[in-house]
Amino acid sequence: MAQKPSIPKGTRDFNPEQVAKRNYIFQTIQSVFETFGFQPIETPSFENSETLMGKYGDEGDRLIFKILNSGDYFDKLNKSLVEVIKDSLHNILIFIKKTGSENINWLTYKEVYLNFIPNHIKSNKNIQLTEEKLNYNQLAETLWFIIYDGFLKTQEKLNQFIDEGDSRIDDFATRVFGSFYFNFSSVHVSDYITEKALRYDLTVPFARYVVQHQNEIEFPFKRYQMQPVWRADRPQKGRFREFYQCDADVVGSNSLWQEVEFVQLYDAVFSKLKLEGVTIKINNRKILSGIAEIIGASDKLIDFTVALDKLDKIGEEKVKEEMLSKGISEAGISKLQPLFNLSGSFGSQIESLKAILSTSKEGTKGIQELEFVHAAITELGLSTATLQLDVTLARGLNYYTGAIFEVAAPKSVQMGSIGGGGRYDDLTGIFGLDDMSGVGISFGLDRIYLVLEELGLFPETVTKSIDVLFINFGDKEALFSLKAIKALRANGINAELYPEAAKMKKQMTHANRRNIPFVVLVGEQEMNSNTYTLKNMVSGEQKTVSLDELKNLKK
Residue 87, pLDDT score = 54
Burial class (CB in 10 A: 0-12, 13-18, 19+), 9: exposed
- 159 lies in the same domain as 206: no
Q: What is the pLDDT of residue 120?
A: 41
Q: Which residue ranges make up the annotated binding site? A: 201-203, 231, 245, 249, 395, 399-400
Domain assignment of residue 517, given as a range: 464-551
Query: pLDDT value at position 135?
Result: 43
Residue 42 counted as domain residue: yes
Q: Which of 176, 191, 206 is the last residue of a domain?
A: 191
Q: Which of 426, 455, 484 is the last residue of a domain?
A: 455
Q: Is 289 exposed, middle or buried (0-12, 13-18, 19+ CB in 10 A)?
A: buried
Do residues 369 and 402 lie in contact, with contact meaning Cβ atoms separated by under 8 Å?
Answer: yes
**Beta strand extents in 3-65 (DSSP E only):** 39-40, 46-48
| Domain presence at residue 74 | no
Q: Are 2 and 239 contacting, i.e. CB atoms less than 8 angstroms apart?
A: no
Q: Do 225 and 298 fall within a single domain?
A: yes
Residue 156, SS3 per DSSP: helix
Asked if residue 274 belongs to a domain, the reply is: yes
Contact (Cβ atoms closer than 8 angstroms) between residue 405 and residue 441:
yes
Distance CA 186, CA 30 (A): 46
Q: 514: domain CATH number?
A: 3.40.50.800
Using 50 as the pLDDT threshold, list the residues of the chain that sit under it: 74, 77-82, 84-85, 100-141, 144-159, 161-189
Rounded to the nearest 10 degrees, how much is the dihedral formed by the CA atoms of 537, 543, 549, 555?
Answer: -40
Q: What is the pLDDT of residue 414?
A: 87
Alpha helices (runs of H) in 361-444, residue ranges in sequence order: 361-380
Task: Clarify whether residues 381 and 473 are in a common domain.
Answer: no
**Whether residue 175 sits in one domain with residue 205:** no
182/213 same-domain check: no
Structural domain total, the chain: 3
- For residue 264, CA distances in Å to 162, 273, 368 come to 73, 14, 20
Residue 426 sits in a domain of what CATH number?
Answer: 3.30.930.10
Taking the C-alpha atoms of residue 1 and residue 422, their distance in angstroms, rounded to an integer, is: 52
Task: State residue 419's pLDDT score.
Answer: 94
Can you state the angle between helices 79-98 and 109-116, rounded to 10 degrees?
60
Q: How many alpha carbons lie under 13 Å from residue 496 in its C-beta half-sphere?
A: 12
The answer to whether residues 482 and 497 touch, using CB atoms and an 8 Å cutoff, is yes
Q: Is residue 424 part of a domain?
A: yes
**Domain presence at residue 122:** yes
pLDDT at 129: 42
Residue 3 maps to a domain: no
Q: Nearest-CA neighbor of 80 among 5, 183, 208, 7?
A: 183
| pLDDT computed for residue 373 by the predictor | 98
Phi, psi of 347 (to 5 degrees): -65, -40
DSSP line for 454-517? HHT-S-GGGG---SEEE----HHHHHHHHHHHHHHHHTT--EEE-SS---HHHHHHHHHHTT-S
The answer to whether residue 71 is domain-embedded is no
Element holding 141 (H helix, E strand): helix 136-148
Question: Percent of the chain, pLDDT > 90?
Answer: 53
- Do residues 342 and 309 share a domain? yes
pLDDT tens per residue across span 353-371:
998 888 899 999 999 999 9
Same domain, 130 and 279: no
Structure confidence by residue, pLDDT tens digits, 79-111: 444 454 455 555 555 555 555 444 333 334 444
Considering only CA atoms, which of 66, 38, 63 is closest in space to residue 397? 63
Residue 409: strand, helix, or coil: coil
Q: How far apart are CA 407 and CA 266, in angstroms?
A: 8
Domain shared by 300 and 407, yes or no: yes
Q: Are residues 240 and 369 in the same domain?
A: yes
> Are 400 and 483 contained in the same domain?
no
Backbone angles phi, psi at 280, to 5 degrees: -95, 105
Q: Please indicate, yes or no, if residue 10 is contained in any of the structural domains.
A: no
Verify that 48 and 83 share a domain, yes or no: no
Q: Last residue of a domain, which of 455, 487, 509?
A: 455
For position 405, what pLDDT does the model report?
96
Same domain, 312 and 411: yes
Nearest to residue 547, comparing CAs of 381, 539, 527? 527
Query: At a CB cut-off of 8 Å and minimum separation 6, what does 287 contact?
Result: 353, 357, 363, 366, 367, 370, 391
Q: Per the annotation, where are the binding residues for L-histidine? A: 201-203, 231, 245, 249, 395, 399-400
